Homo-oligomer: A and B are copies of this chain.
């Protein structure tokens, strides 16, 4: 199988590494700039041809993987001309398959994890890998399912609407969780207490969820509906930052209602 990877960002770094690990041949890397394509090639340590012109993307590969920013997907995919039988997949949970208009075989392979170039994940075995495809029948013998199974031990075939909700769940579990760390840091900014003090608590919070449901693990003033502490802390926040105050109020109300 010959694969073209389009993109040289956070996901592409990890994906290319994992593909090569499983002896899947990458015949070309496309990136908007040769500099970033070459940086990825150097990271991989293999002589993979790099291009920065969509017209130079080879047309005879078996699989085109678009690991691009969400808002670039449609524009790039529509310009790629290939054999009709070729497969086209992107790796985003935030973009539907309408971007594949005009293609015959397409789907989404969404690795449910947060990626960074600086520290590429070199093993996808434990990463849940979601498969969405336009094929009528999706069983174990389906090309995308087999590809996904070769990369991860946790493959889930889902409907496009489910992928949308999964992406939203990921926004809460990752983006918004990380933003809570930002807020905590902001609260400490006016004290002598350094941010790293929070790290053991953050780790323990994430670990608890491995054995308890999030409802069971919930603690704090809002869980106890302790209005005295909530009011006291809202007053303290109010004098420093409106956004933090609004967030504290809304999330406390949510926890109280959640019971």
Q: Which of A95, A165, A255 has the most CB of B within 10 A?
A: A165
Bitwise, A149-180 to B at CB < 8 A (1) or not (0) is 00000101010011011111111111111111
Q: Which of A41-49, A50-58, A60-68, A208-216 contacts B (4 or more CB under 8 A)?
A: A208-216
Q: At the interface, yes or no: A24 with Cβ under 8 Å from chain B?
A: no
Q: At the interface, yes or no: A1 with Cβ under 8 Å from chain B?
A: no
| Given A219-B114, A250-B247, A254-B179, A211:B119 Cβ within 8 A | yes
- B71/A226 in contact, CB under 8 A: yes
- A169/B182 in contact, CB under 8 A: no
CA distance A170 to B208 in the complex (A): 15
- B177/A165 in contact, CB under 8 A: no
With CB as the reference atom, state the residue of chain B lying closest to A181: B214
Q: At the interface, yes or no: A120 with Cβ under 8 Å from chain B?
A: no
- A206/B205 in contact, CB under 8 A: yes
Q: At the interface, yes or no: A39 with Cβ under 8 Å from chain B?
A: no
- B112/A197 in contact, CB under 8 A: yes
| Given A218-B182, A243-B254, A173:B198 Cβ within 8 A | yes
| Given A112-B197, A171-B248, A233-B164, A182:B258 Cβ within 8 A | yes
Copies of this chain per assembly: 2
- The interface on chain A, measured as residues whose beta carbon lies within 8 A of the other chain's beta carbons, has a size of 94
A94 CB contacts on chain B under 8 angstroms: 221, 226, 229, 232-233
| Given A156-B197, A247-B254, A172:B187 Cβ within 8 A | yes
A181 CB contacts on chain B under 8 angstroms: 172-173, 177, 209, 214, 217
- A178/B247 in contact, CB under 8 A: no
**Residues of chain A whose beta carbon lies under 8 Å from any beta carbon of chain B:** 69-71, 94-95, 112-114, 116, 118-119, 121, 126-128, 154, 156, 158, 161-162, 164-185, 187-188, 190-193, 195, 197-215, 217-224, 226, 228-229, 232-233, 236-237, 243, 246-248, 250-251, 253-255, 257-258
